[in-house]
Amino acid sequence: MSHLKDAHRELFRRQPDECFSSLTALWQRCHEQKEQSLELWESPDKLRMQPVSFDRLLLTAGDDGAFQLTDWSFGQLCRLSGVSKETVNRLTPDTAAKVFAETLPTETRPLQLLTMNDRVRSIHGTAYTRLYNVDLLTVVREFATDFEAPPKGLNGGTGLYAGEQDMFCFMIDPTGWTEIGGESFAPGFYLWNSEVGRRSLGLSTFWFQAVCGNHIVWDAIEVNDLRRKHTANIHDGLREVRRMIEDLVRLRDERRDGFTRVIKAAMATTLGDDADEVAKALSKSGIRRKLAAKAIELATKKGSFSVFTLMDALTRLSQERAHVGERLEVDQSAAALLNAVA
């Protein structure tokens, strides 16, 4: 088992305006970003940095007008020009404009500018292919219908985030608990993406035992990861995300149905007609005499010596144990009874 901390890191790096209360609200925000964004293709020699005040530069892109730069797109422009972002930030706008005039690439291959209103969100070359966040979230809404955000974190973070640079989505199925190896697990997943090149497309599906207030996922098993760069085949990643979520849902349903069948069998199976007969059966299962006697006493009050009633009695007795080792022993005894009818 492992502890997953991706959502924990997101919880403490996100600003309040990047946090969304529901998947619908996150989807709506990402839909608005896509609708308001426009891809422009410009030759590098048509890009100019224009000083407009004592602390401000605008990027003019041919006949498409002048745009403000975000922190991310400004950093991309600096990398394209081969100049240090930190150094440029120390220059006056007039000097900075001259630096870019000397260093911006002059090759003929066009650059891709992703704009939103009067801002440039990102600048890329021809090798970059964009996958919009809303397209991923549409898959989630369609195929992960029983999943929802985890309980709010200690600082109010919801696990559903979208900012200027990327999106992150943490979902769990609170009704999907099932038994795996005698322990309880529920399914969940992380999904992330960036429309501006901040990070790759990624998906992690897993089964977990607990999520704490710091959004650390405890005791995760069956962790499956997907990573895709934003190249020409990035939209194949959309199909893979759908397949992995469908596989998680299918496995959840199979395990939940299987567990339901086992519980029904446990309710229908008795270990004997009287206390002495049940005690002998419990002894053959390795359950100590004193523990068996207490379990039989509780089962007698329920009026049934079914495997389910005795397992429930053992679970109650486990909760009364003060030491972890004793609780584990009783829980293992209860699991052994259930496995006998599985």
Give the per-residue pLDDT at 287. Answer: 79
Q: How many residues does the chain have?
A: 342
**What single string gives the DSSP state of each residue in 13-36?**
H--GGGB-SSHHHHHHHHHHHHHH
State the angle between helix axes of 307-319 and 234-268 in degrees (0 to 180), rounded to the nearest 10. 110
Cβ(183)–Cβ(171) below 8 Å:
no
What is the pLDDT tens value at each position of the chain, 342 positions in all? 689 999 999 999 999 999 999 999 999 999 999 999 999 999 888 899 998 876 788 999 888 889 999 999 999 999 999 999 999 999 999 999 999 999 988 877 899 999 999 999 999 999 999 999 999 999 999 999 999 999 999 899 999 999 999 999 999 998 888 877 667 889 999 999 999 999 999 999 999 999 999 999 998 989 999 999 999 999 999 999 999 999 999 999 888 777 667 767 778 888 788 888 878 887 877 777 888 888 888 888 888 888 788 877 877 777 676 665 666 677 677 777 766 665
Give the residues across from 221 on adjacent strands: 207
For residue 56, the model assigns a pLDDT of 84
d(CA 27, CA 201): 17
Residue 62 and residue 46 in contact, taking contact as beta carbons nearer than 8 Å: yes
Domain ranges (residues) in the chain: 2-33+131-257, 44-107, 269-341
Please give the Cα distance from 177 to 121 (Å, whole number). Answer: 41
How is residue 70 annotated by DSSP? Answer: -
Q: Which helix (H) or strand (E) holds 322?
A: none
Token duo for residue 316 = 């109650």
In the beta sheet, which residues pair with residue 60? Answer: 48, 66
pTM of the shown model? 0.77
Rounded CA-CA distance 336/302 in Å is: 21
pLDDT, position 342: 59
Contact 153, 213 (CB under 8 A): yes
- The reported pLDDT for the residue numbered 13 is 94
